[in-house]
Structure 1
Amino acid sequence: MSVKYQNQAAAIVNEQIARLRAVLAEVNSRLAPATSDLRQIARTIDELGVRSGHTGANAIVVRQLKQLQERQHALEVEVNDLHKAARSIEQLIRQTEMSSSTLTEDASQADPWNLALKAQIIQGREDERTRLAREVHDGPAQVLAHVLLGLEHGLTLTEHQNYERLRELLLQLREGSRSGLHEVRRFIADLRPPALDQHELDVALKELCARFDAAGIINVRSEGTRLPRLTPEQEIVVYRITQEALNNVVKHARNAQVAVHYAAVKGQVILLIRDNGPGFEPRAVAARTRGKHWGLASMRERAALVGAQLSVTSAIGHGTEIRVTLPIGELATRV
């Protein structure tokens, strides 16, 4: 008899999933042309910008640029809203499908914590792909588009034998290409921290803090003991959490003093990141963002994947402290 009711419940859930997929298809049908229009406008703005830089901007070009930039902003808002809607619906579909599986799986396979963690991992991967796509578009892709337009203008200058202006253009393109190469290298480094391939974790953390300090936006002081060798996954998580925490300070607490401490204590790696920035009220932020403060959420997800605990303590006017506790057991060794 119970199987009968489970099947009825599963049919209801499947119907709801089908309706959600229909809504998602409608969102995506609007998202595709809006994204295409946004890319076309970005290319047109780049082309006008290059031409105005080479020939001097007149009133008509300035007016065209202004109109295009206003349209670009409106499309960016629309595309971002559609992306958010699509992600929310996709997450709801996945959660509903996971919940539906509890009607047929046994209790051990349908553990709510495991289902929630799976959903977080999937969502985290999707968010990471979206972030990477945005960085490629806003960084290397824009530089390459600018260089391409510059080369096309260079051909025109060659035809007119304007070699003096051509030399100036080539110098500009050389600097732009160097900037693009730097962006690509930074992008690659973000995908896999080369410091972890070259050094032990404690040395990599020290170098990471030194780079943030050298940038001059925040003041970072690091202090710690030699850490045991962890698994590659654990080391990446500790490194990325530190990187994300420092990025958050750069975004929200410029000129702040930051102290980063790390040590191995009684079978655990302890990581503490404290700043004297403006701080925030965690509950208020969670309520305002509905628990989706992506920086903090990303750090918590990373920590959970390797069995670590992450806590955030903050108050307005009293800075922020992030604490990570990672059990290392008997597998950790010193090199």
Structure 2
Amino acid sequence: MSLKEQHLDTIIQEMVDTVKNSKDEVFHIAEESRKEYENLKNELEILKEKVIITIEESDELERQSKLARNRLSVVSKNFKIYSEDVIREAYDHAHKVQSEYVVKQDKERQLRERRDEIELRLKSIEALVERAEGLMGKISIVLNYLNDDFKAMTNLIQDAQEKQAFGLQIIEAQEEERRRLSREMHDGPAQMLANILIRSEFVQRTYQKGDTDAAMNELRNVRALVRTSLQEVRRIIYDLRPMALDDLGLIPTIKKYIATLEEQHDNIHFNYRSQDDRLPSKYEVALFRLIQESIQNAIKHANAKRIDVKLEVTRDSVNALIKDDGIGFDRTQKKDKSFGLIGMGERIEMLDGELTIDSEKNKGTKVWIKIPIN
């Protein structure tokens, strides 16, 4: 993983942690609000009962106050009938009832105000809890986006970087291939052709001098050089694109290719089952290159003692298995230059196929290739 990718992952993780903490805080606020809501709701129920009782008591005291005032009015108007003690008693009773009535009214007012205050607070808390639940839902969406979509985006960026690197590797490989071909053409056919040209001039001069036997002998040497040059040119052409692939088809080309590898590896086994019909050129080229890349990986990197290649061609699909008993590798650990595997994946993707690689340390590698025939 590159330094930029590490920084991006760190930033995303910090964002995820921040959002998670915010969600926890909002959840805590919502839970505390629910507890407060329940407590206030219980208090409201008690208050309502107290208000009803206080109203009833206030009404009773109002009735008693009216009776006491009427009694005091009657007694006060008839000094001759009632004694001073009766009048004082009537006055004290009226004053006491009136005072209790005023106190009870004040208590009723306080209870009503507290009730109204709690009802308003309950509505406010209810709205707060509703907003908190909505906010937690949105935060959950953001978390899913951060966890899934951002990580998917990171993978896309990583895939794009790999594809970019693969593209650069292709360009580099093309230039290297051009350099290799240039060296091979210079050191092989070009040198041979120059030698043929010189020796043909020697044949001409020898013949002109009348030494026919020497000229014929040199001419035979020139023919041998021409034959060798032709073989070298054919070898270079085969490396670029096997002629047998166009002339004979996929299976004979694979057989011929494996035969040419005997010096590199003499234990490659090829089994196949196929229809008689030829495949379209794009399938044959792709399959040959995929099998070629898999065999080369097994030879160069796996140190395999045995390589098995199995191919099945039907009317609907082509299935191939390349298996070796080599050292294997850890699929979770990407190598810096695993462009061979990336290239295989690109070929498979272009043909809507499937590529599965199963490998473990010291347990060999299996490469499954499945390509639908459209």
Give the TM-score taking structure 1 as reference length: 0.49
Q: Which structure features the higher share of helix residues?
A: 2
Give the TM-score taking structure 2 as reference length: 0.44
